Structure 1
Amino acid sequence: MNNVRSKICGITRVEDALAAARAGADAIGLVFYAKSPRAVNVQQARAIVQALPPFVTTVGLFVDASRCEVGEILDALPLDLLQFHGDETPAQCEGHGRPWIKALRVRPGDDLEAACQEYVGARALLLDAYVAGVPGGTGQSFDWSLIPARLSKPVVLAGGLSPDNVAEAIAQVKPWAVDVSGGVEQAKGIKDAQKIDAFLRAVRGA
């Protein structure tokens, strides 16, 4: 059995958060980006966070949010980790009093080791598919061979993962963690408990 961690992102309902926790997810993601079909407000997020059992990490996802906007969310919610999915500089990611990860949309020619050095304070890099004008949640995968075998930061692999391909992704990339959203949904923002269970079984068996 491997020890690859897992995050179910784009949670909008308490029942989906509980399904993820029961299935063995290490983390759930809450999207604070109004343009996303998986966005939640503070009231929704609070209900989800309060319902979770212990030892499930709560991740807040932001896209080019102001320091004030992030601060307001953190004042209202006990989030464990921040995920920055826009064009934030290292300085914009720092200083919120929480550990954070930086999401990058991978294209051929990207120097991912240089990004590790630039975002030196990040706990990990989350690597997602590049789709012009869309900061994430596209449901598309990318060429995993673009990821160097050895990076100086842990890799969280995202982008188009599903119960059908996550084992192959883990075998090829050997990431620290995998992150799924659309691959375990019945509709945007509405998770499917059976798909979550199948995804996490595939992760554990990879």
Structure 2
Amino acid sequence: MVRVKICGITRPEDALAAAGAGADAIGLVFYPGSPRHVSPDAAARIVKALPPFVTSVGLFVDAGEADVREVLRQVPLDLLQFHGDEPDEFCSRFGVPYMKALRVRPGDDLDALAAQWPGACAILLDAYKPGMPGGTGERFDWSMIPASRSWTLVLAGGLDASNVRQAIDLARPWAVDVSGGVEADKGIKDPEKINAFVQEVKRV
């Protein structure tokens, strides 16, 4: 089974919709520049509403160590996701497993890039767009992803129910990560789109 993460959750009801549809994880964005940003207090309420066995993931972009630790003090996150220029040493400081997001550009050597974060439990690949650390709603060239790799792939970038089957067939990821592709508006999820996405993944 390919796992599913619904990212950019801003409301408890959207987290419950994701869990009810069969998503494996939800993402909480702690980057102030994102329209899907949540405060630690709001995130804590969302995590508290989650049923068992749904992973809570906290997304950061070049946050300071004190900021990450303050979020962790308030929110019981299961996994960290770093979308900036954070080195492996920084990402590994917090005693919580982490994913490193890479924004893919034409010509990138993805194996060489992934090797720079040996402590990561997974590498998330997203589309590169200048000035945007993620959540672009755009896809990259999936054929760039090595068919044989020593790292665990989480695929993001422009996914929705109409193209996730193609993405999985081509890239064979461990998990897929969707945000804008299941929204009614920025930060507001559409339960029908969530369900359609999860069901399409399960059919692959």
Identify the TM-score tier after normalising by the shorter chain: over 0.9
Counting only pairs closer than 5 Å after superposition, residues 75-114 of structure 1 correspond to structure 2 as 75-114=73-112
* Counterpart contact for 1:129–1:141, Cα < 8 Å: yes
SS at structure 1 position matched to 2:93: coil
Q: Structure 2 counterpart of 1:120, which letter?
A: P
Matched, 1:174 2:202: no
Q: How far 1:91 moved relative to its partner?
A: 1.3
User: 1:10 touches 1:30 (CA, 8 Å); kept in 2?
Assistant: yes
How big is the shift at 1:92?
1.5
By how many angstroms is 1:76 displaced? Answer: 0.8
Task: Indicate which of 153, 158, 169 corresponds to 1:155.
Answer: 153
CA–CA distance in structure 2, aligned partners of residues 115 and 95 of structure 1: 20
What is the rounded CA distance, in whole Å, between the counterparts of 2:186 and 2:148 in structure 1?
34
Identical positions, percent: 64
C-alpha deviation, 1:94, in angstroms: 1.1
What is the Cα-based RMSD across aligned positions, in Å?
Answer: 0.6
Following the alignment from structure 2 to structure 1, what is the Cα–Cα distance between the partners of residues 137 and 54?
Answer: 24
The whole-number CA distance in structure 1 between the counterparts of 2:159 and 2:149 is: 21
Shift of 1:116: 2.4
Question: What is residue 187 of structure 1 aligned with on the other side?
Answer: 185
Q: CA deviation at 1:115?
A: 2.1
Is the CA contact (8 Å cut-off) linking 2:41 and 2:74 kept in structure 1?
no
1-structure distance, mates of 2:138, 2:39: 26
Quick one: which amino acid aligns to residue 20 of structure 2? R
CA distance in 1, matches of 2:180, 2:61: 18
Q: Secondary structure at the match of 1:162?
A: coil
Segments of structure 2 that go 5 or more residues without pairing to the other structure are: none
- TM-superposed CA distance for 1:46, in Å, is 0.8
**How far did residue 159 of structure 1 move?**
0.2
- 1:118 is displaced (CA, Å) by 1.3
- Asked if structure 1 preserves the Cα contact closer than 8 Å seen for 2:182 and 2:194, the reply is yes
Equivalent residue pairs, number: 204
Q: Deviations over 1:102-160 (max 9, x none)?
A: 00000122111112221000001000000011000010011101111112111000000
Give the match for residue 119 of structure 2.
121
TM-score scaled by structure 2?
0.99
Instruction: State the 4+ residue runs in structure 1 displaced beyond 3 angstroms.
Output: none
Q: TM-score, normalised by structure 1?
A: 0.98
Alpha-carbon separation, structure 2, partners of 1:122 and 1:205: 29
Q: CA separation in 2, counterparts of 1:145 and 1:132?
A: 21
Name structure 1 gaps, 5 residues minimum.
none
Contact 2:26 2:54 in 1 (8 A): yes
